[in-house]
Structure 1
Amino acid sequence: MATLIDHLIKLTDHRERDLLELTLSKALIDLVPIQRVIVARVVSEEGIRRWLEVTTLDAKGGGKVVDPLRVDFQKLPLLEDNKDRLRALQTRSTVEIAWAGEDGPRITYFPLFAESLSDDEGALEIHSASVLTPEQVQTIGAVHHVFRNMYHLLAYSDRDALTGLLNRKSLDDTFYSAVLDELGEGDAVTKGASEAAVAPGQERRHRVPPNYWLGTISVDSFGLISDKSGHLIAEEVLLLVARIMNNTFRTYDRLYRLGGEQFAVLMHCPDEALVLAAFERFRANIEKFNFPQVGRLTICGGFTRVTPDDSPSTALERAERAVDYAQHNGNNKVFSHAELVRRGFFGEALKIGAVDLF
């Protein structure tokens, strides 16, 4: 059986956050005589907050790992549906529930993070046959602490320094790991270790499912804003755009800043019309917002379905072509690349390198 040190090494070996919850759960099942571990995260859409159980692992075998990009939000339980879990989250303290007598089975809830974070909230749920001993609680606390430290460290490396949105490196990582998992070409337990090494700058290509969409967003006339109002005001505009993105898109959509005034969204959605509606909501929210010292602004957006032969660069290029079309046709517009192709405005030929990706 692996020791505590062995599991701590596994936790600190990771270079992407998606596997940390599973590694935490496996460590606790191995080190402490418990029956089940659940890691539940808070996700929200249009102000409604629900529980997403991203990892469930049983001591007797079995469990599941859920990709937040592919959840059916309406089927998730509301936060109020699990009041004990919610109490641990709100009080930032441990909550223990004895549901079959004082010496019988219990569920212990721990806040997943020690502090309240705007986009990272959750609970660690431990099912045990009896009361956890102080030594067992200490072991859980030690592994949990290392998990939090690694999560924050990896989150920092994945984030754009100015806006706090995800960065281009994170887009590449998510693009490949998420689409492989959907196809079942490697489960969530092993996908990080089984991917072939790729040399810097080399494009990796895999088959991908039909319901991933990648979109890019650009602030209209941003150069004029910077020239007229100065660098600090321009940065404030980007921060506010990022905030409106966070408030408009779903918490499980992946939001990125690619550089300059360029942003991106990776989402899983069954229908092109729903993707268009999400981008249109964001366009409208930007249009009606009064930016301090700048006034009204607009954005252009473009999106594309991720195809079987795509790399991040080819998908980004198609989305950016739709943005370019919008900017050359009056600004303040959102287009689907596929719709523009269907209408005959341009063909499928790509101009790799035309987008400023960094």
Structure 2
Amino acid sequence: MPTLIDHLIRLTDHRDREPLDLSLAKALLDLTTIQRVVIARLMVDEEQKRWLDKVTLDAGGGGKVVDPLRVNLKRLPRLDDEPDRVRCLRDNAEIEVAWAGEDGPRIYYHPLLDEVRDDERGVLEIHASGTLDDGARQIIAQVHHVYRNMHVLLAYSDHDPLTGLLNRKSLDDTFYSAMLEELSGNSSAMASSDPAAVAGDAQVAASERRHRVPPNYWLATISVDHFQLLNDKHGHLLMEENTLLITRIMNNTFRTHDRLYRLGGDRFAVMFHCPEESLAQNLLERLRNSIERFSFPQISRATVSIGFTRIQADDTPDAALERTEQAIDYAQKNGRNQVCSHAGLLRRGFFGMVQRAGTVDVFD
């Protein structure tokens, strides 16, 4: 049986935040006599907050891990359907609920994280057969504390400091893990006694993940038209303000579980799940139209050129970004302020005409 030190080492070994939830749940089950761990996160669907049980693990070995990109939000419980979770977040404190008599089973609710944005809020839910003793509560508190510290450290390293969006490093680090299907479909990993197999250890080869990439994930790159000219004319500080406004429009356009990135300067990106190309095009057109119609301070109007591509099973971040950049190059040479699908360019026979205007700038 892994010790407390073993689990703390595994928690601190991670280099991105995706595996942390599962590692936390596995550690608590191994180190205490609790019956179940649920890690629930708040999601937003058209301004309606809902609960996603992202990780559910049972002491007997069952459970599941849900990929937020693949879930149907409208089927999730609404915020008020889970009043004890709401009370936990509202009071920012542990809530203990005895649901079958004073001596019966308990559910303990803990705020998952502290001082985070709304789109990262969640609850650590612990099911026990009775009242937890002081030793178990101390172990839970210690492991949870390490988890929170790691989350904060990794958040600093994978977010753009100006906009709060994910950065290019994060895109490289999480390109495959962002698209993992529910681990409940991987019975061998879920039944394994090796915590690294269940927790999606960082040493898992990227080639294994590629074979599990679903066919309906999309990556889009968004380029602000004439960004350098606007920067030279109006100044860096004003363009930073307008960059924040573009970030707000992006956050309002996409769902909370879609991955939004700032690649640096005039470049943004988004990774999202969508069943077909036409719907992906419509979503990106909505973003383009919202930015075009927005009244920005002093510059009044800004537009964007957007290129997007379907993520392929053997893709790498660089290969996918290369295709989105080719689509943007075509858009910029043909009027700007438009959304172009890389596959659409291929079908129309324009690929041979696309010339690279440059590479994606990466800013720390």
TM-score (norm 1): 0.91
Distance 1:97 1:197 in 2: 42
Distance 2:199 2:107 in 1: 29
Distance 2:220 2:188 in 1: 26
For 2:164, the equivalent position in structure 1 comes to: 164
- After superposition, the Cα gap between the structure-2 partners of 1:186 and 1:131, relative to the gap in structure 1 and judged at 3 Å, is closer
CA contact (8 A) 1:17 1:154 kept: yes
- After superposition, the Cα gap between the structure-2 partners of 1:166 and 1:265, relative to the gap in structure 1 and judged at 3 Å, is same
For 2:38, the equivalent position in structure 1 comes to: 38
SS of equivalent residue, structure 2 residue 313: coil
CA contact (8 A) 2:119 2:256 kept: yes
- After superposition, the Cα gap between the structure-2 partners of 1:309 and 1:29, relative to the gap in structure 1 and judged at 3 Å, is closer
**In the alignment, is residue 55 of structure 1 matched against residue 55 of structure 2?**
yes
Q: Deviations over 1:247-306 (max 9, x none)?
A: 211111111111111011111211112211221121122122222232121111111111
- After superposition, the Cα gap between the structure-2 partners of 1:349 and 1:206, relative to the gap in structure 1 and judged at 3 Å, is farther
1:1-358 map, 5 Å: 1-179=1-179, 189=198, 191-196=200-205, 206-207=210-211, 208-347=213-352, 354-358=358-362
| Residue type of the alignment partner of 2:164 | G
Q: Deviations over 1:293-337 (max 9, x none)?
A: 321211111111112332211211111222222222222211212
| Residue type of the alignment partner of 1:29 | L
For 2:194, the equivalent position in structure 1 comes to: none
CA contact (8 A) 1:341 1:348 kept: no
SS of equivalent residue, structure 2 residue 52: strand
- Once the two structures are TM-superposed, the CA of residue 180 in structure 1 deviates from its matched residue by 5.8
SS of equivalent residue, structure 2 residue 64: strand
- After superposition, the Cα gap between the structure-2 partners of 1:71 and 1:140, relative to the gap in structure 1 and judged at 3 Å, is same
Distance 1:39 1:185 in 2: 20
- After superposition, the Cα gap between the structure-2 partners of 1:220 and 1:185, relative to the gap in structure 1 and judged at 3 Å, is farther
SS of equivalent residue, structure 1 residue 89: helix
SS of equivalent residue, structure 2 residue 19: helix
CA contact (8 A) 2:329 2:354 kept: no
- After superposition, the Cα gap between the structure-2 partners of 1:191 and 1:99, relative to the gap in structure 1 and judged at 3 Å, is closer
CA contact (8 A) 2:288 2:338 kept: yes
CA contact (8 A) 2:180 2:209 kept: no
TM-score (norm 2): 0.89
| Residue type of the alignment partner of 2:262 | R
CA contact (8 A) 2:329 2:355 kept: no
- Once the two structures are TM-superposed, the CA of residue 185 in structure 1 deviates from its matched residue by 12
Which of 84-93 and 323-332 deviates more?
A: 323-332
Distance 2:54 2:315 in 1: 27
Among all aligned residue pairs of Structure 1 and Structure 2, give the percentage whose two residues are the same amino acid.
Answer: 59
Distance 2:148 2:333 in 1: 46
| Residue type of the alignment partner of 1:254 | R
- Once the two structures are TM-superposed, the CA of residue 181 in structure 1 deviates from its matched residue by 5.1
Distance 2:156 2:280 in 1: 28
Which of 283-292 and 33-42 deviates more?
A: 283-292
Distance 1:133 1:180 in 2: 37
- Once the two structures are TM-superposed, the CA of residue 347 in structure 1 deviates from its matched residue by 4.2
For 1:201, the equivalent position in structure 2 comes to: none
Distance 2:353 2:70 in 1: 28
Distance 2:288 2:28 in 1: 45
Distance 2:312 2:186 in 1: 17
Q: Deviations over 1:161-203 (max 9, x none)?
A: 22111111211222223446579699572543443499xxxxx
Q: Deviations over 1:48-81 (max 9, x none)?
A: 2111111111011111111212212222111111
For 2:193, the equivalent position in structure 1 comes to: none
CA contact (8 A) 2:19 2:200 kept: no
Q: Which runs of 5+ in 1 are unaligned?
A: 199-203
Distance 2:28 2:311 in 1: 37
Distance 2:24 2:322 in 1: 37
Distance 1:180 1:357 in 2: 28
- After superposition, the Cα gap between the structure-2 partners of 1:277 and 1:17, relative to the gap in structure 1 and judged at 3 Å, is same
- Once the two structures are TM-superposed, the CA of residue 115 in structure 1 deviates from its matched residue by 2.3
Distance 1:350 1:293 in 2: 33
SS of equivalent residue, structure 2 residue 359: coil
**Aligned pairs, how many?**
352
